[in-house]
Structure 1
Amino acid sequence: MDYVDQAKRVFDIEIRALELVRDHLNDDFSNILRIVTECRGKVVVTGMGKMGHIARKIAATMASLGGPAFYLHPGEALHGDLGMVTNDDVVIALSYSGESEEITRVLANIKAIGATLIGISGNADSTLVKYSDYSQVFPNFEEACYLNLAPTSSTTAALVYGDALAVVASKVYGFTETKFALFHPAGSLGKKLLIKVQDVMAYGEDNAMIQQDVTLKSAIIEMGKKGLGIVTVVDNEANIIGVVTDGDLRRQLEKGVDVYGLTVDEIMTKTPVTVKHDCMAVEALQILKEKNISCAPVVDKQNKAVGTIRIQAILNKGIII
């Protein structure tokens, strides 16, 4: 037996099932989409067995794309979790046969609660479809299982149908990258769109800052205490006069200068690159990389020095470009 060919057979069967479902989509999908996007409560997705796993994933995808949704285990629903469902909710029930016992036993109660019921099934004459206010009936197709019994093509079709419903619904909601980031704060995109310079900069006692006219020795001490690789030189009103970096210090020491005699004004960079405190961290990272520097002073809206931003601090947050 050629196992690779057998594996390809599974792919082919399930792809064919998806094509059949895709070509079978009609106004039933549009009606279900309208009910979901006009829902005043939450979308509750339920299913048992393999379809239960699919239902859980569909609910998670809907929630992450702007549609409040959660998964309800039908077995737990029979023992009190139906209390999570209200008459403002839409319940999407998945059962390819439409006769899963745990599903059919909760249908009457869902109707009594007053929630709108959507049935997803492969059996137009099933109990699920008969109870449903709206339904999507899949066309006949072959399961990829050799016995044509184990849920394979049917679960794949339900999964992709749920993805289609969630994705198109997100379009209706006007879901944006910013909203996606709000729901995915730990993800790369979320960090890029939510984390600002002020969230990762060194400030207060952790920031390296000195007054103008102080000695080079004072700059060395301040830089050593704060460990930022840069000291911001300011006047009495926190306006930036310049910066002294560890590179500047190293070059001066190599020349054998008198660290007691020189002032920072004599060696500092007087027009340093600065970054706004409310700038996105990913934008600051781009600026620092383009200027080929590892850190820069941070200023507020009045251009007063308020901190220092370092490339490493941004990278430590998982933000990359």
Structure 2
Amino acid sequence: MLTNVAALVYGGVAPFELGVLCEAFGIDRRDDGIPLIDFDVCGPDAGPVRSSVGFSINVEHGLERLATADLIGVPANHVGDTPIDQDTPEEVLVALRAAYRRGARIVSICSGAFVLGDAGLLDERECTTHWKHTADLARRFPRARVVPEVLYVDSGQIITSAGTAAGLDACLHIWRQEYGAAVAAAVARRMVVPPQRDGGQAQFISRPVADCEAETLGPLLEWILEHLHTELDVEGLAGRVAMSPRTFARRFRAETGATPYAWITSQRVRRAEELLERTDHPVEQIAGQVGFGNAAALRHHFTRVRGLSPQAYRRRFAVTA
């Protein structure tokens, strides 16, 4: 169970990415029923560390703090806008490798992935970073399996996230893994962000798109969430917003980063999580409530997405008697 987190910084740390880790794990939210995390910021030397935008941060702990952390967060560390040709301090690499060998999980935020690459922790592993740097990450670390555009990649012990806010999605993903959907949602509510975007959703990349006169699909997405128990297909959904199925599918992916089928399936799995945690309804009943139709379909999709069967998930995260 996650109880101890350390954020690793040195000269050039990006304040926003460090703030993501502080916001996700460093705030006492026990009044909302959220477990308290032992959280510290550490670096090669205790004392002031100059950030990438010029001000300094006082760091109280050295690298020895990493020895007790269940999770180590590595924010972007660079001067200017490019992390590509910068060298990571050797003592940082040694400490990260030691933490990895003892089983600590490590999450990078944005271009912090380059630090993990320098430590050799991305070799033969799927990973990502900010879309602006994915090609450079692949060139610099040819043994890494870089996945462009996604929000984050969970490769087990190593989690890499894309730019800025995608780090919040990765942190909420970790909360969900460790403490379940209800706690992750409570953390998200305190941060006033969506409970969690799936890692496979696309990063925003500025590129030409076809003109479309339709309004946002936001109202339709809300309607879908209220009708997950019903049969939902592209033709029917396209008709609700007066689009052809092809135009609708293209617009849906542009707004959500996923196909209608993938997005609806992920929402059904998420709703099933909530019901498994908070009710004692049989799995067959939950399958009908979320739109999977039968227990076999629920087990298939749930296990594929979460890596646990519904029954195993309930045993781990149920909050009912």
> Normalising by the residue count of structure 2, what TM-score does the alignment of the two structures yield?
0.30
The structure showing larger relative contact order (alpha-carbon pairs under 8 Å, at least 6 residues apart) is 1
Structure whose alpha-carbon radius of gyration is higher: 1
Structure with the higher fraction of residues in strand conformation: 1
